[in-house]
Amino acid sequence: MSTAPAANPTYIIGHKNPDADSICAAIAYAAFKEAKGENGYLPARCGNSNARIDTILTRFHQPLPVYLSDVTPRVRDLMVRDVVSVCQTATCAEALELIDQHDIRTLPVVAEDNRVIGSVSVFQLGSFFVPQIREPREMRKVFTTLAHISRALKAQTVHVDRPDFAEELFVRVGAMDVKSFGTISAGEGIPFNKTIIIVGDRRDIQQRSIVLGVRVLVVTGNLPVDDDIVQAAKTAGVSLMVSPYDSATTAWIIRSATTLERLVDRKFASLSADLRVGELRKKLSTSTNPSYMVVDDEGKLQGILTRTDVLKPVKTRLVLVDHNEMTQAVTGADQVTIVEIIDHHRLGSLNTQHPILFINEPVGSTCTIIADLFRREGLVPSADIAGIMMSGIISDTLHLNSPTTTEKDGLILNWLSKIASVNSRELASEIFSSGSVILANPPEKVIRSDFKIYEEEGTRFAVSQIEELGFANFWKHSRALANALEALRTEEALLFACVLITDINTQNSLLLVKGEPDFISRISYPSVQKDEIFDTPGIVSRKKQLIPYLGSILKEMQTDGVMPAIKSA
């Protein structure tokens, strides 16, 4: 199965601190979607792997799903990435062409290394070309190079002196009689060597311009220029080019050849691509900026975001597997689009904006549900995907020994075993002997390895589960695990936190609890150490056995009116 991400993939993701069933379900459901011809689904995870998961993935040749720690919508999810930009040495004509071609209002101006210098807008450019009656000199001013003018005009260059020298020039049309020509520019204090003369085929104006030493002589209408005029221009150092346009159009185009350097608005508003959309909306509520440059730490352009972009729906889509409670979902799941849920746990408090596909069955493993979908659709998974689903079922049902196990789990496991050509008992032995979570990780990571937060009676609590071969490793590290559990309880502001340590061989468990004294005192199982470790024989299912028991204690406390002040947010 290919796991290459699509342009906007739909992530299939399990709960935080994923167990084997969560990871295997994400991989298997992506394979099911692909088998149905539905592309763009990518398995993901929102927590670290462990030795057991690594053993399963290696055994059945599957890569570890992509890691997503947070799907909270950010600026990068809404910004326009394919940004049209321009360098500050570009001309107004080039900027206007880009604005028109791409139907945009603001054009980022960048340096050669893509650092944002500022921006130009259609309004700024429009203002530049609007006639300024009180300042006729400004109406004729252009700051550019002769190379830019020639390119803008698509002119025939007869002779050009210093074509790449950026300078301030003034445009004048040689439409007056030769007797008065030259007096107006002199009267405005404009030197002839900073003057561009636009003229048709009037030899007298052409000759007079050369004698006066103008900077550029532009002959319009593709009219021929006499050889002696050409020679005179070269001798006098006057640049000479022929425009294909009439005089009025030529004058406008020359003005549009002004470079952007002096028009750039260098007080641009910028954002980081990592900014959360919620924070962005607060920022926009007190700002009048129509658009923002999205830049990295070095100021390089990554995208552009306008106010209308904030109204766009977030593209991130999720399929939740092996859970349906927001307290267990990847951070930010409540702010993106959840399109499907495939689960086998109790219903949690989860709302969606639209109707979705929600499959929830009282079976021992999410992989049982997904394998059954293959069967119902008449699809046969590959041997490796069948092995992956076998592993999920074996892990979550303790090889069909958990109280959550149903007849369907056994039937599906047998069906998958034939496809994968794998003996389920041998696979179970390989999975459960793949390493001790307690020995392989520091205490704080052990208690979070399969850790879920729940809400009952308006109170938050956490339950972790560890599966071991015997209790020897637990007793060696019980004090460190207890300290880590108390730290977790304090950090998450929980009424209590507990870890169920299950012996796979005997199908018995120990329960380590840290919490409010009144809660701990109501636990009816025998205490084996300082009222924080309890012997819970026959308790192996967090979902079907432990959570209902803990919930009954909370209801009892609620009825007695002794519920502590630690409440859900």
Tell me the C-alpha to C-alpha distance, in Å, between residue 288 and each of 125, 284, 285: 20, 7, 8
Structure confidence at residue 2 (pLDDT): 36
Structure confidence at residue 348 (pLDDT): 80
Tell me the HSE value of 257 on the side-chain side, using a 13 A CA sphere. Answer: 27
427 token code pair: 């696979």
361 token code pair: 């069955």
Tell me the C-alpha to C-alpha distance, in Å, between residue 504 and each of 281, 438, 507: 51, 14, 5
Q: What is the DSSP code string of 489-544?
A: HHHHT-SEEEEEEEETTTTEEEEEEEE-HHHHHT--SPEEETTTEEEETT---III
Distance CA 414, CA 417 (A): 5
Structure confidence at residue 135 (pLDDT): 62
pLDDT digits (tens, 9 = 90+) for 24-67: 999 999 999 999 999 999 999 999 898 899 999 999 999 999 99
Q: What is the mean pLDDT of each run of 10 residues along the chain (569 residues)?
A: 57 94 98 96 94 94 96 91 89 87 88 91 75 64 91 92 92 82 64 93 92 94 94 95 94 88 87 91 85 92 89 89 93 93 88 89 97 97 98 95 93 98 95 86 91 85 92 93 95 95 91 94 90 91 92 90 61
Question: Residue for token digits 């259609």?
Answer: 122
Beta-carbon neighbour count of residue 140 at 10 Å?
20
With CA atoms as reference, report the closest residue to 318 among 302, 329, 306, 307. 329
Structure confidence at residue 320 (pLDDT): 97
Which are the contacts of 250, defined by CB distance < 8 A and separation ≥ 6?
153, 198, 218, 220, 243
Structure confidence at residue 182 (pLDDT): 64
Instruction: Say if CB 382 and CB 31 are below 8 A apart.
Output: yes
With CA atoms as reference, report the closest residue to 464 among 501, 427, 434. 501
Distance CA 88, CA 300 (A): 15
Considering Cα of 273, then 337, then 376, then 367, what sign does the dihedral take?
Answer: positive
Instruction: Say if CB 566 and CB 516 are below 8 A apart.
Output: yes
Distance CA 88, CA 114 (A): 11
With CA atoms as reference, report the closest residue to 216 among 306, 149, 301, 272. 149
Distance CA 517, CA 514 (A): 9
Instruction: Say if CB 273 and CB 302 are below 8 A apart.
Output: yes
Which are the contacts of 446, defined by CB distance < 8 A and separation ≥ 6?
437, 438, 466, 477, 481, 484, 499
pLDDT digits (tens, 9 = 90+) for 484-509: 999 999 999 999 999 999 998 888 99
Q: Which letter does DSSP use for residue 314 in this model?
A: P
| pTM, to two decimals | 0.66
Structure confidence at residue 29 (pLDDT): 98
Domains (range + CATH), the chain? 10-72+316-432 (3.90.1640.10), 77-127+263-311 (3.10.580.10), 146-258 (3.40.1390.20), 440-560 (3.10.310.20)
Extended beta strands in 440-485, E state: 451-456, 459-468
Tell me the C-alpha to C-alpha distance, in Å, between residue 123 and each of 36, 84, 117, 178, 290: 52, 17, 18, 39, 12
Collapsed DSSP state (helix, strand, coil) of residue 77: helix
Instruction: Say if CB 143 and CB 258 are below 8 A apart.
Output: yes
With CA atoms as reference, report the closest residue to 239 among 220, 222, 258, 215. 215
With CA atoms as reference, report the closest residue to 320 among 43, 120, 39. 43
